[in-house]
Amino acid sequence: MDWIRERLQSCEDEVALIEDDRQYLYSDFMKHIQEWTERLQRDNVKEKEVVAIFGEFCAEMLFSMFALIQNGNIVVPISLEKKENLESMLKVARADKIYSFQAETIAFENLKNSQSHELIEQLRKENATGIMIFTSGSTGEGKCAIHKFSNLIYKARKQVKRKALKSLVFLKMDHIGGINTIFSVLFQAGTMVLIKDRSIKKVCSLIEKNQVELLPTTPSFINMLIISGAVEEYDLSSLKLITYGTEPMPTTTLQTISQLMPNVKIRQTYGLTEIGIFSTKSKDNSSTWMKIGGDEVEVEVRNHILFVRSPYAMLGYLNAPTPFDEEGWYNTNDEVEVDGEYFHIMGRKEEIINVGGEKVFPVEIEGVLAQLPNVLDVVVQGKKNPVTGQIVTALFQLIEDEDEKAFKKRVIEYCKKELEPYKIPRIICISDKNFIGTNLKKKRL
């Protein structure tokens, strides 16, 4: 891992990291990694061991991750929100040791693990470092994807020609998008701005204060950015690029944000925990159509579903059968439309609602419904039905209280003008709960 040290050393006078009011130059960053290397020795953390780092995403956690990678470990970042499943996650990961970062203290524990897994052994035999990432399963700990570190950062390692934009690390360290941001920025002499509170107010004030240039985020967050009026309230003029991924983008949201922030380039990214983040190229700023692939990554559409084959994909899951077919293709379960070289992600196959044989994509309906006045957020889902197989339901979160009957009437009148009958939500409910989960994606119940 000498090249990492060399890469960081080559820009030692640049600012690597901003956390709260503290700035770390690349030289500081390396000093902290060295301190962590010494700590690992004191704690008898041996090469090739599986080490979990758990807690609120902070600079110390980041230093520890770099030190562990340099030490030849397999790292398992786990964010604080996963606290409930921590024990089972550690078991699945066959973690030998854990560092917990909570309330300014760092605790170390030897987990006395005696289990291993063939994929862990594979990495050990190759003398390779690794990173494990858990998918955000609807229940329990999710699936544990094990990646070879060199594969995960192949793109970031290659990019050296230009300095990375000053980026807000919006996605967390235990998310494939978060990992991608960290290495893309740090291997290109960029500056990362860390954030703990991902509320609109905090994100916008950090952008304003630190003159952030790149915001990697999710469509749900962009929606909130529009609805909250924060674009007018804060000075976000430093932003040059907003990237979004992780869930389908409603066309209306994309068009609105492009109008509100005409000087900001909006780019869609595409990636999955299992196969990493791919190179993409959007048709234009307000288009959800993009080219996917390159860098030896192959894409194929079978029966409207996107399949991907990449030499940089994960090795496999530690707690589920391999999702790759015999030829190494991965079924993304994303239904797509194709126009020449461009793809449009319609939605996850399992989220598509089938109303009497007609397909309804929740994200499309959500985009239409979100345009209604007094709507803060909306989740559209299918409900099993004996007549049409499924019907469309919509659960709204409102900005201000409104009479339910009058609201439903308003929704229906609007839908009749905007949607085909089978797409109109037949069950309309109002909730006071937040629909955006800890992964900053919309929660589909």
Partner 1 sequence: MNNTFEVVKNCVEEVLSMNGAEEVEIRFDSKIVHDLGMKSLDIAQLIALLEIQYEKDPFSEGATLANVITIADLCKLYE
Q: Which of 150, 228, 287, 388 binds partner 1 (CB under 8 A)?
A: 388
Burial of 255 by CB count in 10 Å (0-12 exposed, 13-18 middle, 19+ buried)?
middle
* CA-based nearest residue to 286, from 348, 349, 222, 335: 222
Segment lying near partner 1 (by CB under 8 A), choices 83-91, 285-293, 299-307, 384-392 = 384-392
Segment lying near partner 1 (by CB under 8 A), choices 27-35, 141-149, 338-346, 378-386 = 378-386
Q: How far is the CB of 354 from partner 1 (least distance, A)?
A: 12
Annotate each residue in 327-366 with x if it binds partner 1 (CB under 8 A) or - if it does not, as one string.
Answer: ----------------------------xx----------
**Other C-beta atoms lying within 10 Å of the C-beta of residue 393:** 17
Q: Which of 127, 262, 340, 387 binds partner 1 (CB under 8 A)?
A: 387
Q: Which of 298, 416, 434, 438 binds partner 1 (CB under 8 A)?
A: 416
Q: Which of 5, 291, 349, 426 binds partner 1 (CB under 8 A)?
A: 426
* CA-based nearest residue to 8, from 32, 38, 30: 30
Torsion of CA 428, 434, 435, 436, to 10 degrees: 160
| Separation in Å, CA 166 to CA 169, 213, 238, 434 | 10, 5, 10, 30
Segment lying near partner 1 (by CB under 8 A), choices 60-68, 139-147, 210-218, 406-414 = 406-414
Q: Is residue 445 close enough to count as binding partner 1 by CB under 8 A?
A: no
Q: Is residue 321 close enough to count as binding partner 1 by CB under 8 A?
A: no
Burial of 401 by CB count in 10 Å (0-12 exposed, 13-18 middle, 19+ buried)?
exposed
Q: Which of 122, 422, 430, 441 binds partner 1 (CB under 8 A)?
A: 422
At 268, which helix (H) or strand (E)? Answer: strand 265-268
Q: Which residues of 184-196 are buried (b: 16+ CB within 10 A; e: fewer)?
A: bbbbbbbbbbbbe
How many whole angstroms separate alpha carbon 394 and alpha carbon 246? 21
Which of residues 98 and 395 has its CB atom nearest to partner 1 in the complex? 395
In terms of DSSP bridges, do strands 265-268 and 241-244 run parallel, antiparallel, or are they unpaired? parallel
CA quadruple 288, 291, 296, 302: dihedral positive or negative? positive
**Total of chain residues touching partner 1, rule CB under 8 A:** 18
Is there a contact between 325 and 378 (Cβ–Cβ < 8 Å)? no
Annotate each residue in 68-107 with x if it binds partner 1 (CB under 8 A) or - if it does not, as one string.
Answer: ----------------------------------------
Segment lying near partner 1 (by CB under 8 A), choices 119-127, 194-202, 227-235, 382-390 = 382-390
Which of residues 291 and 426 has its CB atom nearest to partner 1 in the complex? 426
Which of residues 158 and 383 has its CB atom nearest to partner 1 in the complex? 383
Q: Which amino acid is at 70?
A: Q
The distance of Cα 247 from the centroid of its chain, to the nearest Å, equals 9
| Separation in Å, CA 135 to CA 140, 238, 318, 362 | 10, 33, 12, 21
Is there a contact between 316 and 322 (Cβ–Cβ < 8 Å)? yes
Q: Which of 106, 385, 414, 443 binds partner 1 (CB under 8 A)?
A: 385
Q: Which of 297, 318, 378, 391 binds partner 1 (CB under 8 A)?
A: 391
Segment lying near partner 1 (by CB under 8 A), choices 6-14, 91-99, 222-230, 420-428 = 420-428
Which of residues 238 and 388 has its CB atom nearest to partner 1 in the complex? 388
Q: How far is the CB of 411 from partner 1 (least distance, A)?
A: 9
Which residues, in sequence order, are CB contacts of 47 under 8 Å at separation 6+?
71, 72, 73
Q: How far is the CB of 400 from partner 1 (least distance, A)?
A: 23
- Tokens coding 219: 């469509």
In DSSP terms, which residues pair with 282 in a beta bridge? 290
Q: Which of 237, 427, 433, 434 binds partner 1 (CB under 8 A)?
A: 427
Residues that bind partner 1 (CB under 8 A): 355-356, 383-388, 391, 393, 408-409, 412, 416, 421-422, 426-427
